[in-house]
Structure 1
Amino acid sequence: MVKPRILIIEDDRSLAEVLGYNLEQAGYEVLVAYDGQDGLYQAQLKTPELVLLDLMLPVIDGKEVCRRLRARSETQEILIMMLTAKSEETDQVVGFSLGADDYVTKPFSVKVLLERIKALIRRGQGAPTDHEMIVHQGVMIDRRSFRATAGEQLLPLTRSEFRLLDALIRQPGRAFSRAELIDAALGDDAYVMERTIDVHIRALRKKLAEHADVIETVRGIGYRFRETTRETSR
């Protein structure tokens, strides 16, 4: 059985050593980089399943590493869990807006971290089993191929954005609360704030471009996928 490969990008060598030891004991193959530049190189060369990414890194900081991983086709599907001493809400929102899949603040329990990693990998491997294709308001989503389009344009969605769009488009007109969308897009074992969904919605609307208005804000509740075509006045 092939072991899931995890890349630790952490400049604190003692912490990297502790994490590496515990991950290996838990059955993972471990790679380690001590700065952002080497981390990017290893991620592109060895394509790990998950990256444990510190934010405060030498050479290239963690935010830029995350941005570059998400910008490159060969690394954009890698799961990213940010590790940082920062615990401010704004830092977490920025992390998710850059494409992080989860966010853990230091200090943390290694046991809890291992459970978070296991849950994140499980969500990442949760390939769609329903082969149904949905098309509504010019937007198409296909669980079988994990592809989505708006008009004729292929949408470069992250896993979370894909699941968010999938949940919305399959029940047009239904108002989803932010908590419901967290469960749908990130999984009920994700530890995130409701504001994180707003970040994902903004990113999703940007990628939808001229179709952005199919996702409507329901004031005081959350969001819904527009049920009917809007009439244009002449």
Structure 2
Amino acid sequence: MKRTILVVDDEPGIVKIARDYLERAGFHVISAGDGPSALRLARQEHPSLIVLDLMLPGMDGLDVTRALRQDPLTAGVPIIMLTARVEETDRLIGLELGADDYITKPFSPRELVARVRAVLRRIEGHLQPTKVIQAGRLTIDLERRIVRRDNEIIELTATEFELLTILASAPGRPFTRAQLLDRIYNTNYIGFDRTIDAHIKNLRRKIEPDPNGPPRLILTVYGVGYKFAEPDAYNQ
């Protein structure tokens, strides 16, 4: 069964190029030219991934991302954001809202296909059956891709789940930002350090026992990157 990709852009030429290359790569493509239509299609069609332009008329891509992440029906769908803006701040806002990746316009259609495949590959990753990581009150079910604190499900994006899994699978081991970028995107990804920082900020807000206090689970290793706390620390 073909996986469905929702392409959201108000430029018909870009939609056509994306559709041609993605369909040639074996995907089923649906499209929308504005935010409200994108939200409606996402809820109705349950796409495997959304390619979302940042500069949409009326309701822009950031508003669409925010709405997608707040809706239980679409909260977990991966988002690759298209942006003509070159400022790092704009890209960081998208990542902090829950986008999984971004591509800067003008882009290579082949790169778009590679990014889509990479994001889907890590979502559908080869996980050990019934494997569960227990970190204090936090339970990470790798097979079902569910994170719980006690009995309450914590909604994570695909990238946040992948990042949490990498860190929690090796408590106490420091990872550089470059290592995390490489492990998450699993491709020749040209990113920047603050991409990881944005995802870590989101994760901490969602999983830390006290999001406003000092981190207890995901710790900063100054001059290096991040690590997951060892059991003795988070079981206290």
Query: Aligned equivalents of 1:23 and 1:214: distance in 2?
Result: 39
Q: 1:36·1:60 contact (CA, 8 Å) conserved in 2?
A: yes
Residue 224 of structure 2 aligns with which residue? 221
Query: Aligned equivalents of 1:65 and 1:12: distance in 2?
Result: 17
Post-superposition CA distance 1:135-175 (Å, at most 9, x none) = 23332212122122234432212222222222222222222
Residue 172 of structure 1 aligns with which residue? 171
RMSD: 2.1
Residue 27 of structure 2 aligns with which residue? 28
Q: Which 4+ residue blocks in structure 1 deviate beyond 4 angstroms?
A: none
Residue 107 of structure 2 aligns with which residue? 108
| 7-16 vs 162-171, which moves further | 162-171
Task: Report the residue type matching 2:178 in the other structure.
Answer: A
Post-superposition CA distance 1:185-207 (Å, at most 9, x none) = 34344442221111111111111
1:84 aligns with 2:83: yes
Q: 1:128·1:146 contact (CA, 8 Å) conserved in 2?
A: no
Using a 3 Å threshold, how does the CA distance of structure 1 residues 88 and 215 change in structure 2: closer, same or farther? same
Q: 1:102·1:190 contact (CA, 8 Å) conserved in 2?
A: no
**Cα distance, 1:230 vs structure 2:** 7.0
Q: 1:84·1:104 contact (CA, 8 Å) conserved in 2?
A: yes
- Rg: which structure is higher? 1
| 187-196 vs 135-144, which moves further | 187-196
Task: Report the residue type matching 1:153 in the other structure.
Answer: E
What is the correspondence of 1:34-113 to structure 2 with a 5 Å cutoff? 34-113=33-112
- Relative to the length of structure 1, the TM-score reads 0.89
Query: Aligned equivalents of 1:75 and 1:63: distance in 2?
Result: 15
**Cα distance, 1:119 vs structure 2:** 2.1
Give the secondary-structure state (helix, strand or coil) at the position aligned to 2:51: strand
Q: 2:9·2:56 contact (CA, 8 Å) conserved in 1?
A: yes
- Relative to the length of structure 2, the TM-score reads 0.88
Query: Aligned equivalents of 1:231 and 1:123: distance in 2?
Result: 29
Give the secondary-structure state (helix, strand or coil) at the position aligned to 2:233: coil
> Which consecutive unaligned segments of at least 5 residues does structure 2 have?
none
Give the secondary-structure state (helix, strand or coil) at the position aligned to 1:213: coil
Query: Aligned equivalents of 1:141 and 1:87: distance in 2?
Result: 36
Identity percentage of aligned residues: 39
Give the secondary-structure state (helix, strand or coil) at the position aligned to 2:43: helix
Residue 142 of structure 1 aligns with which residue? 141
Query: Aligned equivalents of 2:108 and 2:118: distance in 1?
Result: 15
Query: Aligned equivalents of 2:170 and 2:142: distance in 1?
Result: 15
Query: Aligned equivalents of 1:69 and 1:32: distance in 2?
Result: 16
Residue 15 of structure 1 aligns with which residue? 14
**Cα distance, 1:83 vs structure 2:** 1.0
